Amino acid sequence: MLRSSYLARAYSTLKAQSCQEYLTHCQKATISLSSRVFQGTFYEFQAKEALERHLHLSGLARVGGAGDNGIDLLGRWDLRCFQNPSSSADSPAQMPCDASGEVPVLIQCKNHATKIKPSVIRELAGVHEYHVNGSLKSVVPTFMFLVSPLALTKRAQVQMDTSQVPLIHVRISPMTRETSVRAEDAFLVLNWRNYTFGPAYMNNTARTLLLGLLVEKHHVFARGQPLD
C-alpha cells in the first residue's frame, strides 16, 4: 500500500485530476491547446482515465511536473479482478499484493511521435529503484507502467525483456480535437475524439509475478508478443 505521507508529498500542485478538469483549468489560465505543455499534461490525464477504466488501476494521482522524480502518475492496481475462478480454495493463485488485493504502481507517460528507445527503458529502471528503495518502501512488488502512442524499438524491447523491474507497456493514442467546433467549445472534452487503448505488453519479470492470475487473458494484452 502506498503510504499516505508519500502521496501527500507526491501530489501535483495542479488541482485538476481529469481530462475535463484540466481543460477547464486551461481555459481559465489561457493555456494554448497547441502548446507542448498542454499536449503532454493532457496525455497524462488521458492515460489516467484509460488505465482506471480498462485495467482496474485505482486512486491514480497525477504527480507530473517539476520535482516528479520521473513519474507522472501513481496509485494502486486491484489484482482481485484477475483471479482465476477455476483455482481451488485449497490452492489459490499466489497474488503479489497486500491484504487489500492491491499492488502499488508507478506510471510514466511518453507522448512521443517516435518509437520508444532503450534509454527510456533504462530510465524507468532507475526511476523504479529510486522510488521503491526510497520514499515508497512498499512491502509488495511495485509495477512500473510505460504509456506511449507508439511501440518500442527492437533494442528497447530487448532492454525491457531483460529488465528485473516488472514493466508493463500500454499503447494509448492521444485524443484529438474536433476541427469543426468553435474555439471556446474546444475546452469541452466531448468535443475531442476519444483515445485508442492498447495493445499492452508485460515483460518476463511482471509475467512471473502475475503467474496464476488472468491478467494476460485481458483482450488488451498482446498474448506475450512485442508491440510492433
* Grid cell 505543455 in the structure block, residue: 37
Say how far apart CA 21 and CA 43 lie, in whole Å: 13
What the chain holds in terms of domains, given with CATH numbers, is 19-85+92-217 (3.40.91)
* pLDDT score for 7: 45
Indicate the pairing of strand 167-172 with strand 192-193.
unpaired
CA distances in angstroms from 109 to 74, 95, 132, 163, listed in the order given: 11, 26, 19, 19
Which has more confidence, 51 or 224?
51
pLDDT tens per residue across span 154-192: 999 999 999 999 999 999 999 999 888 898 899 999 999
Angle at 26 between CA 45 and CA 185, to 5 degrees: 95
pLDDT tens per residue across span 42-74: 999 999 999 999 999 999 999 866 556 789 999
226 band by pLDDT with thresholds 50, 70 and 90: low
Whether pLDDT at 147 is above 80: yes
pLDDT tens per residue across span 192-223: 998 999 899 999 999 999 988 888 888 888 65
Average pLDDT over every residue of 15-39: 93
Question: Which of these, 68, 77, 10, lies nearest to 40 by C-alpha position?
Answer: 68
138 band by pLDDT with thresholds 50, 70 and 90: low
* pLDDT score for 180: 87
pLDDT tens per residue across span 83-134: 877 764 444 456 666 657 889 999 999 999 999 999 999 999 999 998 888 7
Q: Which of 29-33, 34-38, 67-71, 169-173 has the lowest mean pLDDT?
A: 67-71
* Grid cell 508478443 in the structure block, residue: 225
Whether pLDDT at 10 is above 60: no
Q: Which of 31-35, 40-44, 139-143, 173-177 has the lowest mean pLDDT?
A: 139-143
Average pLDDT over every residue of 141-156: 96
* pLDDT score for 31: 94
